[in-house]
Amino acid sequence: MKNSSNLLKLITQVVFVTLIAGVGFLTRQQWMQLFQAEQEEESVSDESAPVEEPKVLKLSKQARKNLELVSKPASPQTYWRRIQVPGEIVDRPGQSDRGVTSPAVAVVSEVHAFPGDTVRPGDRLITLRLFSEYLQSTQKQLFSSTREAEIVQEQLERLRPLEKSGGIPGSKIIDFENQLRRQEAVIQAHRQDLLTRGLNPQQIDRVANGEFVSTVDVIAPPRVKEREQLVTIRQSSFQKDKADDDEFAFEVQELNAELGQQVQAGELLITLANHSSLYLEGHAFKREAPYLEKAAQNGWKISVEFAEDEPENWPQLDQSFEIRYLSNSIDEESRTFDFFIPLANQSRSYEKSGETFVVWRFRPGQRIRLHIPVEELKDVLVLPSAAVVREGPEAYVFHQNGDLFNRIPVQVLHEDRLNIVIANDGSVTPGLYLAQNAAASLNRVLKAQAASGMRADVHVHADGTVHASH
């Protein structure tokens, strides 16, 4: 009996478990949905709410110093949109360089000026020993004509008393006077010829007295007057003086003759240079010609960047730059045309071993950048290029209010290598202090703050790391 009772209990338990399993299988969809709903509620409760990207960041005083932040009030102004054109400094034809030639057929006997030397108008450059037959013949004719004129003059002085007493007719005196005038005309022609050959008046007077000249000094030519202001050599004051010719000087640029060399009349002996007046030569493409023509016609001021210049070692360059003329031919290789702007140079001198040497601030061949105005933008805000940061199509500036910096979206109208022009459309209120630099660094700090989930009252370092205030 006891065994049968145990067996009955076992069968009853098996039937009960089987029944529960069947009911659970048949209702599995209902209770699985309830379980999944509970899991979703738990996962939703466990997820943290998304962090909204902040627009304001806080920088400590030390962080601002590390970034070298500079803030200035926004002020609407007028800005000229410009195009950038490359160029270089060149000599001004007919004024910068002077060639000195031989006045006659001769041999170079002495050289008095060498490359790098400074010479002033009238200084000796080269001494030539003459052996030109033409020059010797001219000196002979001058001497002969001078003596003939003296003889005619003596005859006139002897015959004039006889003409007054009626001893000779008056026509005889007239013939002698005409002969004297012809001789004086020949003498004057010979003297002018010798002047053009390099002889000075004192030498020509000696030739007329029978002392023929066998050597001639080639001297530095006089200063060429020009409309633009010349810069003269002045060592200590660096001042510019147009009227003081005593301080005007040439630099010997090239010596084209050697001792003992035979030279012909008109042959180049020496090249002198004075870089007081130069040209800024720009190279523009044909599509930029309308902008340049308009700038030249209206006299708009051109901004110039000089490469390899040290303005702190020179006086302030107090001159304005305007296009003087545009070339009407295009270079076949570069497909550009040139335009020219006058430049008044600055110089200083120093003495060494008793000689004076000149140093010019601007030199031919020096590279430049020319900024040509093409359009006037009125009532705009102009900031340095480092004051604006871009993220795709968006552009931002940072408004400083004490330790807080607020990022403001703006519209960019124009930008170049130095400046960015933004629209005065109300996004930035005039008078607000805007960061003038380090906008990219400020934006990185803002991104770091957003990633950390911290508010603007956290301690932010200049490297972008954030820490709780302490």
The CB density around residue 8, as the number of other CB atoms within 10 Å, is 10
At residue 140, the pLDDT reads: 87
- The HSE-up count of residue 458 (CA atoms within 13 Å, CB side) is 22
At residue 40, the pLDDT reads: 55
Contact 428, 385 (CB under 8 A): no
> Cα separations (Å) of 194 from 19, 104, 309?
144, 10, 48
Contact 373, 81 (CB under 8 A): yes
φ/ψ of 435, rounded to 5, equals: -65, 130
As given in the structure block, the two tokens for residue 26 are: 């048949």
Contact 104, 118 (CB under 8 A): no
As given in the structure block, the two tokens for residue 425 are: 């459309």
Per DSSP, the three-state class of 234 is coil
Domain residue limits, the chain: 2-46, 56-79+376-467, 85-93+275-374, 98-271
CATH number of the 56-79+376-467 domain? 2.40.420.20
Q: How far apart are CA 326 and CA 227, in angstroms?
A: 19
Q: How far apart are CA 439 and CA 421, in angstroms?
A: 15
Q: How far apart are CA 115 and CA 255, in angstroms?
A: 6
CATH number of the 85-93+275-374 domain? 2.40.30.170
pLDDT per residue rounded down to tens, the chain (470 residues): 555 666 667 677 766 667 776 666 666 666 566 556 555 555 544 444 454 556 788 888 888 888 888 999 999 999 988 889 999 999 998 888 889 998 888 899 999 999 988 888 889 999 988 877 777 888 888 888 888 888 888 888 887 777 677 667 777 778 878 888 888 898 889 888 888 877 778 888 888 888 888 888 888 888 776 554 443 433 333 334 444 455 678 889 999 989 989 988 889 999 999 898 899 999 999 999 999 999 999 999 999 999 888 888 898 888 999 999 999 999 888 899 999 999 999 988 888 888 778 889 999 999 999 999 998 889 999 999 999 999 889 999 999 988 889 999 999 998 888 889 999 988 898 889 999 998 998 988 888 877 766 555 444 444 545 454 44
At residue 272, the pLDDT reads: 92
Q: Is the dihedral of CA 325, 329, 332, 335 positive or negative?
A: positive
